[in-house]
Amino acid sequence: MDPVIRKAEGSKNPVLGPSDGVPNYVMLYVQHAPGASSPHHTHAWEHQAFIVEGEGVLWCDGKEFPIKAGDAVLVPPDSDHQFRNTGSTTLSRVTVNPLSSVGG
């Protein structure tokens, strides 16, 4: 298998997914404008995120944890969580989930 190289700009999520032949994990690129957030949600899998730019909070099981560019984040499985931009610039993150998260 050859490597797959894809520009995040203009791509839909997952940026790398089943159509690319990924065997285990999908990669998402998510941007939150100032004041925006992901919905509160829970799922059975862990996921990992790398904060590329900006700052905000990870709300996880009722607690807020500050996050900023350069942080690596592990969201435990079965936790109610949300990423929220509390800064004045875009909060961007790369998130890695198991292939099963997209029904692959």
- Per-residue H/E/C for the chain: CCCCCCCCCCCCCCCECHHHCCCCEEEEEEEECCCCECCCECCCCCEEEEEEECEEEEEECCEEEEEECCCEEEECCCCCEEEEECCCCCEEEEEEEEHHHHCC
pTM: 0.92
Within a domain: 92: yes
Within a domain: 5: no
Please give the pLDDT value at position 104.
53
Provide the pLDDT confidence category of residue 80 given band limits of 50, 70 and 90. very high
Within a domain: 97: yes
Within a domain: 6: no
pLDDT of 67 strictly over 90:
yes
Within a domain: 41: yes
Q: Say how far apart CA 89 and CA 86 lie, in whole Å.
A: 9
Within a domain: 8: no
Containing domain of residue 76, as a range?
29-102
Q: Give yes or no for a cis peptide into 23 (omega within 30° of 0).
A: no
Within a domain: 85: yes
Please give the pLDDT value at position 27.
96
Within a domain: 89: yes
Split into its structural domains, the chain has a count of: 1
Provide the pLDDT confidence category of residue 97 given band limits of 50, 70 and 90. very high
Question: Which CATH number belongs to the domain containing residue 64 in this structure?
Answer: 2.60.120.10
